[in-house]
Structure 1
Amino acid sequence: MKKRAIVACFGAIILMATPLMAQPNKEISPQERCPVCGMFAAKYPNWITQVRLGNGTVKFFDGVKDMMAFTFNPASYGAPGQTAQEIWVKDYYTLDWFDGRSAFYVVGSDVSGPMGHEFIPFSSAAAAESFRKDHKGTRVVRFDEITEPLVQSMRHGHKMR
């Protein structure tokens, strides 16, 4: 009997915790605009990224570059006092959502995003390095190596596709 009670308690804890486990939004409204550039993010499904703020609001972006600009300065883009609680990106090859803080990003490749130069996200170092070699990337960086000056340098010469 004691064993059943323990198993039941453990099961209840797991069920209660499940909604708290972070998950990206799978659906995006066609009217959802990137708060940084104003583009309709849903038009670029392979490039969409998202940030869940401390207040629960989800912001969608048309690429990692604009998402990073937002995370460095949310107040400039309509979210004063907010910080990113969750950051979601899509692996360039698989298009699977994963935690953007764990990503490997290729910088300086010959592949352009919706607005030109872009950080290309991968869930594995091997995939990022392979892509870097195949697409003339200059380097692979981790999330915590991306600086505001690096983001701003990539925002020069935006060209909409």
Structure 2
Amino acid sequence: MRQPTNNRHLWPVWLALALWIGAWNASAGESPTDREVPSGAKCPVCGMFVAKYPEWVALARWSDGTVHYFDGAKDLFRFLANPERHAPGRDPAGIGELYVTDYYGLKRIPARSAWYVAGSDVHGPMGHELIPLAHEQEAREFMQDHGGRKLLRFEQITTDILSALDKTGEAP
């Protein structure tokens, strides 16, 4: 005859599982714009710890929910120019949402709709940086106030511009 089992000793396991599922469900609908950068997150381009520079954060969210954090828009664009190098084994077609941090508002904004100023006197964590702004007028004012050389849209940013920023601090 089979003895009845006592499952009371399993309650900590069930509780932990329920808490984990609840936390996973809560974060599943969370936008990457709402998340804090994990303290151990490193930029896949330069290896810098990104959480140290929250005002410069850029990120790429893959279709599977994986997020790569960057220490500035410039490294995000370097990543996009060669994702196979910086995320080996990942299919670049799986890159979904892209965000940068607006210079004035310090909020994450869609990278594809941002305005970028190149060649200004404002430096990011890695030196000369692309400065993202949410609105064209703000970008033009920023250029006047900070000696910006070029106003760019997402699709205009090339590896030549990124290289020029590193070499001379100016956009070609």
1:82 aligned to 67, 92, 101, which one?
Answer: 92
1:22–1:86 CA contact under 8 A, matched in 2: no
2:109–2:134 CA contact under 8 A, matched in 1: yes
1:50 aligned to 42, 59, 67, which one?
Answer: 59
2:32–2:61 CA contact under 8 A, matched in 1: no
Q: CA RMSD in A?
A: 2.0
Query: Please, which runs of 5 or more residues in structure 1 have no aligned partner?
Result: 1-18
- Normalising by structure 2, report the TM-score: 0.75
Q: CA deviation at 1:72?
A: 1.2
1:77-130 CA-to-partner distances (Å, cap 9, x unmatched) read 124422431111111001111101000000000000001010000000000000
Gap change, CA 1:24 and 1:111, over 3 Å in 2: same
- Normalising by structure 1, report the TM-score: 0.80
2:146 is matched with which residue? Answer: 135
Q: Distance in 2 between matches of 1:56 and 1:29?
A: 15
Query: Please, which runs of 5 or more residues in structure 2 have no aligned partner?
Result: 1-27
One-letter identity of the residue aligned with 2:72: G
1:100 aligned to 111, 129, 148, which one?
Answer: 111
Percent identity, aligned pairs only, is 41
Compare CA radii of gyration and give the structure with the larger one: 2
Q: Distance in 2 between matches of 1:101 and 1:21?
A: 20
Q: Distance in 1 between matches of 2:39 and 2:30?
A: 26
Give aligned pairs, total.
140
